[in-house]
Amino acid sequence: MRYWEDFEVGETERYGAYEVTEAEIIEFAKAYDPLPFHTDPEAAKDSPYGALTAPGLLTCSIFMRLLVDHLLLDAASLGSPGVDQVRWLKPVYAGDTLSVRQQALSKRVLESRSEMGLVKNRFEVLNQHDEVVCDIASNGLFARREAEDASA
Amino acid sequence: MRYWEDFEVGETERYGAYEVTEAEIIEFAKAYDPLPFHTDPEAAKDSPYGALTAPGLLTCSIFMRLLVDHLLLDAASLGSPGVDQVRWLKPVYAGDTLSVRQQALSKRVLESRSEMGLVKNRFEVLNQHDEVVCDIASNGLFARREAEDASA
């Protein structure tokens, strides 16, 4: 179980291998981002990218899935107050395989609730060519082991 | 068709009415954020919010759908380089109805590509009690009507 204490500023981890399919792009886009270059492979041929591309929020959602599988299911996670920045740097195509590089940027105990701490992480989403397709700076709240031990 | 020229800094619009169902929360969460308080109504009763809540990225995705329906399908949109901030301020529950309040914060022509311009918008996602559940600051690229007319 990973607590706030277990994040080390500067430490980098790499994880995940999620293949993005054409079917998933179309299904997600029809529900949440129904622009023709996300929903229609034919229309996408005439777009600046020349082929179907994943909606930006699908890329973020796939990142989230990798984060849950790798980290959050085994962490004393208390949610996220928010995201500081998202940059979509390169298109994500059907057939791409995405992974995540995570680095803790800073951490602090909450003044108002000392039993938990905030970790600012940078997450780079990479494709199979090791190109960064999306760069995310996010905040996560985690319980402190110290506080847990004290209340036990 | 809305072009870059048609955004007025300070102008506010309100639109959308999207009902979030328990089925949609569970389906989205199982795919992209499979933590028990998003996927399992029973487990969610023991969580700090006492009931199933929508994953933060589902709230963002629903916002995107409302933005596409209201604005992007009839705009000279050239995509988004990224988001400057997302804050999840209140939980979104099954049965909530979400809408969007949009305000243009600033705009400028791109120095490198004068045929398009950037608009920074603030989007507040509200529930049926007019509470802001999510606050998003985002960047959108739009073609300039002037440039379109010149090339016609």
CB contact at 8 A, B115 and B147: yes
β strands within A62-146, DSSP E = 82-88, 97-109, 116-126, 132-143
**pLDDT one-digit tens code per residue, A61-83:** 999 999 999 999 999 999 999 99
Q: Answer yes or no: do A61 and B31 touch at CB < 8 A.
A: yes
pLDDT of residue A152: 62
Check CB contact of A72 with chain B, cutoff 8 Å.
yes
From CA B67, how far away is CA B58, in angstroms rounded? 14
Q: Is the model's pLDDT at B29 over the cut of 80?
A: yes
pLDDT exceeds 70 at position B150? yes
List of chain A residues whose C-beta atoms are within 8 Å of the C-beta of residue B124: none
Does the CB of B43 have a partner CB in chain A at under 8 Å? no
Residues A98, A20: contact at Cβ < 8 Å? yes
Mean pLDDT to the nearest integer, B57-63: 98
Q: From the list A64, A65, A85, which residue is nearest B83 (CB)?
A: A85
Instruction: Choose from B86, B88, B120, B135 for mutation: most chain A CBs within 10 A.
Output: B86
Complex ipTM, two decimals? 0.94
Please give the model's pTM, rounded to 2 decimal places. Answer: 0.95
Q: Where are the domains of chain A?
A: 4-19+55-151
Burial of A111 (0-12, 13-18, 19+ CB in 10 A): exposed
Q: What stretches in chain A show pLDDT beneath 70?
A: 152
> Which residues, listed in sequence order, are joined to residue A106 by a DSSP beta bridge?
A120
A72 neighbourhood in chain B, CB within 8 Å: 35
State the nearest Cα–Cα gap between A35 and chain B, in angstroms.
7
> Which two tokens mark A110?
């909450």
List of chain A residues whose C-beta atoms are within 8 Å of the C-beta of residue B64: 32-33, 55, 57
Q: What is the mean pLDDT of residues B27-44?
A: 96
**Chain B nearest CA to A57, separation (Å):** 6
Q: How far apart are CA B70 and CA B48, in angstroms?
A: 34
All residues of chain B having their beta carbon less than 8 Å from the beta carbon of residue A77 are: 35
What pLDDT, on the 0 to 100 scale, is given for residue B152?
62
- Please state, in angstroms and rounded to a whole number, the distance separating the CA atoms of residues B108 and B114: 10
**Any CB–CB contact under 8 A between A88 and chain B?**
yes
Q: Which own/partner contact pairs does B35-40 have at CB distance under 8 Å and 24+ positions apart?
A: B35/A68, B35/A72, B35/A73, B35/A77
Instruction: State the Cα–Cα distance between residues A72 and A61, nearest whole angstrom.
Output: 14
Instruction: Nearest chain A residue to B36 by CA: give it.
Output: A73
Q: Which two tokens stand for residue A71?
A: 């980290």
Q: CB-based contacts of B43: which residues, under 8 Å, 6+ apart? A: B36, B37
At residue B14, φ and ψ (nearest 5 deg) are: -130, 130
Q: In the predicted model, what is the mean pLDDT of residues B46-52?
A: 92
| B4-20+53-151: CATH topology | Thiol Ester Dehydrase; Chain A (3.10.129)
Contact: A57, B57; criterion CB under 8 Å: yes
Please report the pLDDT score of residue B148 as a whole number: 73
pLDDT score, position A62: 98
Q: Decide if A43 touches B, using CB distance below 8 A.
A: no
Q: Which residues pair with A12 in a beta bridge?
A: A103
List the 123-152 stretch of B: residues with Cβ below 8 A of A.
none
Distance between B76 CA and the closest CA of chain A, angstroms: 12
- Mean of all residue pLDDT scores within chain B: 95
pLDDT in tens, B71-88: 999 999 999 999 999 999
Pairwise CB contact (< 8 Å): A82 & B88: yes
Percent of residues in chain B assigned helix, strand, coil, to nearest 5: 30, 35, 30
**Would you say domain A4-19+55-151 falls under CATH 3.10.129.10?**
yes
pLDDT the model gives residue A143: 96
Task: Tell me the pLDDT tens digit for each residue of B86-110.
Answer: 999 999 999 999 999 999 999 999 9
Q: Residue B135 pLDDT more than 80?
A: yes
Is B84 within 8 Å of A85 when comparing Cβ atoms?
A: yes
Kindly state whether A23 is in contact with chain B, defined as any CB-CB distance less than 8 angstroms. Answer: no
Torsion of CA A42, A43, A46, A52, to 10 degrees: -80
